A and B are shown apart, each in its own frame.
Chain A
Amino acid sequence: MVVLLRNLQNVVPIRRARLRKDVEMLKRILGVQRFDMGIVCVDNRKIQHINNIYRRKNMPTDVLSFPFYEDLRPGKLPCALHRDEYNLGDIFLGVEYVMQQCQKRSWDFYGTLTVVTAHGICHLLGYRHETEEEWDEMFQKENYILSEFNRLTGSHLEPLTKRCTGDG
């Protein structure tokens, strides 16, 4: 139902209304509007710290997902019974890292943030990319979400799984 947006960093200025609008649209495309979700914007130091704690990777990254439902089958929506179970979990966006990638590759920042968030939401919904089969399944989903997003907004966004493997 609610996108809980938090901006814990001061390295990259964030247009909150823009980010919320894009995330709300991704939720609508996926048909998960009735689920809560947390979006937390953090800098390199913070995401590196979290990455090290939860994945033993002591480096900054673009996105980390913390699903509320940990054993979801990809594509199956959670069966929530109570109001507080309508929750998909939290996505930590490494906005400083994303900004650096955008500057290197001349990508649009908010477009990239949408791509990264779509990737994160797929993880919240049980998608993985550890095997080739999983990767393919996740790529198909991301591709669908972003092509719908592009159709609705006139953007030209591509899935994150196309750009990287084994991370996030």
Chain B
Amino acid sequence: MLKSLTRAVSIAARLTNKATTSASVSHAAEPLVRSALCAPTSATIRPFTRSIWMMCGKNDNRLLTTKHTVPSCGCGGLHTEGDKAFVEFLSEEIKEEKKIQKSKALPKMSGGWELELNGTEAKLTRSISGEKVTVTFNVNNSIPPNMEEEPEQGQKAEENEPDVVSTPNFVIELTKQGAKNSLVFDCHFPEDEISHGEGEEESDIFTIREVSFQPEGEEDWKETSYTLNTDSLDWALYDHLMDFLADRGVDNTFADELIELSTALEHQEYIKFLEDLNGFIKCQ
């Protein structure tokens, strides 16, 4: 009995030392200490109980103090110590993210594109000589997984950390005056092109995946419309399609600017999400 108590108290003491930096550790120590206090009264165990009471002095009363996890703001919601730590973490994260945010305003696209936002979806519109070009993309799930290798020994992880870049799939819709259908291009950024450094990437900056005609302005595409898949396409036809898009302002410069815009929008939405999450937890 004595032996096990000694062990319990010494563990409690060890945990208390650590607890100066971590609140959750002092919680872990509580059950151990309680079981020591509940032991039958005996002269042989007094030194230990005293030492425990000494720990509960003015300077260090954490060990025997119960932390309450009851609602405190009257909102009816639960407010735990974990919530408090979460809010602190989020506040710090928001501060850090705002620090690295280049500008609160989104970057402008060159070429007279008008931007319209609807949550995480962005729509760029441009008119040229009776033709309307609309490019839409959604920043959700637009950050490819980090394929970088682990940093080498001696190399700081932070230095090696690649920038977060949003490379969303995007849809180009071309409408001609008087035409029943729009010509729709489903485009994407091939993964090996997304610069993780000085890799010898050899894909185009963006590629066309599919081309089809769709009724103008329809939200849902008709599955019955013939869809040209570029995987098995004549290369000359593919090049003409790319030149056709370039003539309408969708070229490599546009694609690079779209990445910048999407990255800034994704970051803005991420910060907004963190703030909403912070407010939700705090019941604000």
> Which A residues have a C-beta under 8 Å from some C-beta of B?
2-10, 13, 15-17, 19-21, 38, 40, 49-50
* Contact in complex: B205, A10 (CB < 8 Å): yes
Q: Complex formed: what's the CA distance from A16 to B235 in Å?
A: 10
B251–A13 touching, CB < 8 Å? yes
Q: Are A16 and B205 in contact (CB under 8 A)?
A: no
Decide: A8 and B235 in contact? CB cutoff 8 A: no
Q: Is the CB of B204 within 8 A of A8?
A: yes
Chain B residues, Cβ within 8 Å of A10: 205, 251-253, 255-256
Given contacts A10-B251, A10-B252, contact A17 B202 (CB under 8 A): no
Nearest CB to that of A18 among chain B residues?
B243
- Cβ of B201 within 8 Å of any chain A Cβ, yes or no, is yes
Contacts across chains A and B counted by CB atoms under 8 Å: 45
CA distance A19 to B242 in the complex (A): 13
For the complex, what is the distance from the CA of A21 to the CA of B246, rounded to whole Å? 18
Is B239 in the interface zone, CB < 8 Å from A? yes
Complex: A161 Cα to B152 Cα, angstroms: 45
| Cα distance A86–B176 in the bound complex, in angstroms | 43
Whole-angstrom CA separation of A6 from B255 in the bound complex = 15
Q: Shortest Cβ distance from B213 into chain A, in angstroms?
A: 22
Query: For residue A13, which residues in chain B have a CB less than 8 angstroms away from its CB?
Result: 246, 251
B255 surroundings in chain A (CB, below 8 A): 10
Binary A-proximity of B221-256 (CB < 8 A = 1, otherwise 0)? 000000000000001100110110010000111011
A7 touches B243 (CB 8 A): no
Q: Is B149 an interface residue (CB 8 A)?
A: no
Q: Would you call the interface of chain B mostly helix, strand, loop, or mixed?
A: helix
Q: How many residues of B contact A (CB 8 A)?
A: 20
Residue of B nearest to A10 (CB): B252
The distance from the CB of B226 to the nearest CB of chain A, in whole angstroms, is 22
Query: CB of B193 within 8 A of chain A?
Result: yes
List, in ascending order, chain A residues with CB within 8 A of B256's CB.
10
Q: What's the nearest-Cβ distance from chain A to residue B123, in Å?
A: 23
In the complex, which residues of chain B have a beta carbon less than 8 angstroms from the beta carbon of A19? 239
In the complex, chain A residues whose CB is within 8 Å of the CB of B246:
13, 15
Q: A8-B193, A8-B203, A17-B239 are in contact. List 11 more A-B contacts (CB 8 A).
A: A2-B235, A6-B202, A10-B205, A10-B251, A16-B239, A16-B240, A16-B242, A17-B240, A17-B243, A19-B239, A38-B202
Q: Are A6 and B235 in contact (CB under 8 A)?
A: no
Q: How far is the CB of B241 from chain A (nearest CB, A)?
A: 9
